[in-house]
Amino acid sequence: MKKIAVLMALLCVVSVSAFAAGSASFAKDGVLITPGSLNANAGVGFGYWYGFGVGGGAEYAIGKFTIAEKLPFVYGAAARVGLYLGSSIQLSVGAMGTLHFSWAALGLPDNMSWINNIDSYIGLGLQVLPSVGFNSIAGTSYFLAKNLAINVESGLSSTYLGVLYKF
């Protein structure tokens, strides 16, 4: 448990230093996740009841559409795997359709430029383990570099804190 607390503290320090340094926007054409990109994420998690988990997945960004000629959204397909270790051991596997929104599209003032590196997303799809049914994910990523982000995601039996890498 102490290792997880140290990891979370380290991620907070990295995030604060990125905000304090004044960050450049890594968004391209108003989006951080670009169509055609392959993204992988992995993290450690805390179960909804109690326990510990690890999870991750991959996503392919398929395309982009714009609402009101100003707000771009990127859609994709994702696979997620989660292993929950609590009162029992539970493996969760799912395939999702995803939708991303980059806060860079809002054109915020320069003193809020760090917000331009935030990408929020939702996903809905089919979970095949431990049982078959619908499931959802939701998350937010803060990009520290063009291809690297701190990621928080909830879904598939746990909430995960980890990293995302964009290929």
Amino acid at 66: T
C-beta of residue 149 within 8 angstroms of C-beta of residue 143: yes
In the chain, the N- to C-terminal Cα span, in Å, equals 31
* 128, amino acid identity: V
Residues 156, 130: Cα–Cα separation, whole Å: 10
Q: State the Cα–Cα distance between residues 155 and 139, nearest whole angstrom.
A: 9
The domain defined by 2-166 carries CATH number 2.40.160.20: yes
So what's the pLDDT on residue 15? 52
Q: Which one-letter DSSP state was computed for residue 101?
A: E
What's the CA gap between 58 and 40, in Å, rounded?
Answer: 4
What does each of the 167 residues of the chain score in pLDDT, given as a tens digit?
Answer: 444 544 454 454 445 445 545 568 899 999 999 999 999 999 998 876 678 889 999 999 999 999 999 999 999 999 999 998 888 888 999 999 999 999 999 988 988 989 999 999 999 999 999 899 999 999 999 999 999 999 999 988 788 999 999 99
Report pLDDT for 121: 98
